[in-house]
Amino acid sequence: MSKFKRVRSQLSAAIMIAVLMGITTGCWDMVEPNERSIWVGSGVDSAAGRKIDLSVQIAVPRALGEGGGQQKPYLVKSTVGRNLEDCFQRLQAQLSRQIFLGHRHAVFVGQKTAETGMRRLMDEFGRNPRSNIRAKLFLVKGATAKAFLAESGGIEYFSTEKAIRQTRFNGINDKMTTMIFFKEVLQRDGMRPLMQVVETGTEKDPKSEAEGSEPSHREIALFNNSAAAVGYLQEEEAIAALWAAGYLEDQMVTETVYGQEVTIDLHHMKRTLKSKIEGENVELKLILRAQGIVDENDTDLNLFIYSDMKKVEQAFNQKIEQQMNTMIKMVQQKYKTDIFGFGEDIHRRHPKQWSQMKGNWDERFPKVKVTVISNIVIRHIGERGPK
């Protein structure tokens, strides 16, 4: 073969390969979007024989679009299986579309299941590559997770979306409510996880939102090292615990100052821990910092006067220190679970002593002496002058 023919043959082969690559690239195992189910939320409850009762809230596309009529925008399917993956397979048999966990926004756990212990659920949360690891995690108090998924979402299409938005606008760091963060905390030696709590109720009375009778959702569940819920904190106690544990970014706080109410919008909320060990005694200092904007002042104090503004600051700091001390002592004595990460601080600052403590940290935690220092600084007083 002449040199010219050889070059022409090689060029033809190169062109053929390029053409083939152009027409064969792409995702051969692609699944059309309309062949997948829009899995919005999961509900996990216990069933007899150590089995799992898994429920799923699935969006109904034709009900979400124009002309959806009176049809509910979702349906709830349930099945019982030996573990979560077994349940997924059984649910798939009930559906005309492929299960796609990447759409899942939240996982709800029934109270009974959470109090029994959730360790067996943790493996699937991080291992399944098809799952959305940033899905939010909630405990359903006083009812099953299935019942919560079946409820109306109020002004939202889904009860799942309603729970997520309530958490987002309560000032809690978004990533700290995910199931992957819960699993990560559970794997630490010196910290125990928290979980947001939701309740059922709106389905019984459709007018409850307009009447303001919807149950409060400012509640958290405390977990021990076995991933079992051991207690609950509500309202001010829950907010204090979230701040002390480093979950809060901003929050609106109302306190009584000189007999009247003052509301400050706190932002840049931080906490710092400092630990000291002397023999068998462990002492810990919890320093809380935040900047604030005065949103409402019902007192006779004129915040335009520097000394009056400092009186408000001082009163808030004293109240917060009192509330924190009371809450921390209650968690230490009643629930005995280190949701604040005190053990982690000791691990970082005193690694040698920690190696001797971590084995029985749950027994040592209630004996830790804690000092709280609140350092709120008012940066803006809102509308100037007296009320």
Taking 60 as the threshold, does the pLDDT of residue 46 lie above it? yes
Which carries the bigger pLDDT value, residue 148 or residue 26?
148
Residues ≥6 apart with Cβ < 8 Å to 341 = 188, 190, 191, 245, 246, 273
Q: What was the pLDDT predicted at 192?
A: 94
Taking 90 as the threshold, does the pLDDT of residue 34 lie above it? no
Q: In what order do the strands lie in the sheet with 219-223?
A: 74-81, 51-59, 39-47, 106-110, 136-141, 194-199, 219-223, 229-234
When the pLDDT of each residue in the chain is averaged and rounded to a whole number, the result is 84
The mean per-residue pLDDT over the stretch 248-258 comes to 89
| Most confident stretch, 36-50, 249-263, 363-377 | 363-377
Q: Are 240 and 327 in contact (CB under 8 A)?
A: yes
Q: What was the pLDDT predicted at 173?
A: 81
Q: What was the pLDDT predicted at 33?
A: 64
Taking 60 as the threshold, does the pLDDT of residue 74 lie above it? yes
The pLDDT confidence band at residue 9, using thresholds 50, 70 and 90, is confident
Q: What was the pLDDT predicted at 133?
A: 82
Q: What was the pLDDT predicted at 208?
A: 47
Which carries the bigger pLDDT value, residue 176 or residue 70?
176
Which residue, 167, 165, 340, 171, is CA-closest to 266?
A: 171
Question: In the chain, what percentage of residues exceed pLDDT 90?
Answer: 42
Look at 8-17, 305-314, 330-339 and tell me which has the smallest mean pLDDT.
8-17
The mean per-residue pLDDT over the stretch 142-157 comes to 88
Taking 60 as the threshold, does the pLDDT of residue 162 lie above it? yes
Q: What was the pLDDT predicted at 2?
A: 64
Taking 80 as the threshold, does the pLDDT of residue 360 lie above it? yes
Which residue, 162, 373, 379, is CA-closest to 264?
A: 379
pTM: 0.82
Residues ≥6 apart with Cβ < 8 Å to 99 = 36, 37, 39, 88, 91, 92
Q: What was the pLDDT predicted at 69?
A: 61
Distance of CA 26 to the CA centre of its chain: 37
Q: What was the pLDDT predicted at 383?
A: 66
Q: What was the pLDDT predicted at 72?
A: 79
Taking 70 as the threshold, does the pLDDT of residue 340 lie above it? yes
Q: What was the pLDDT predicted at 210?
A: 47
- pLDDT of 211-221, one tens digit each? 445 555 588 99
Q: What was the pLDDT predicted at 44?
A: 93
The pLDDT confidence band at residue 120, using thresholds 50, 70 and 90, is confident
Taking 80 as the threshold, does the pLDDT of residue 260 lie above it? yes
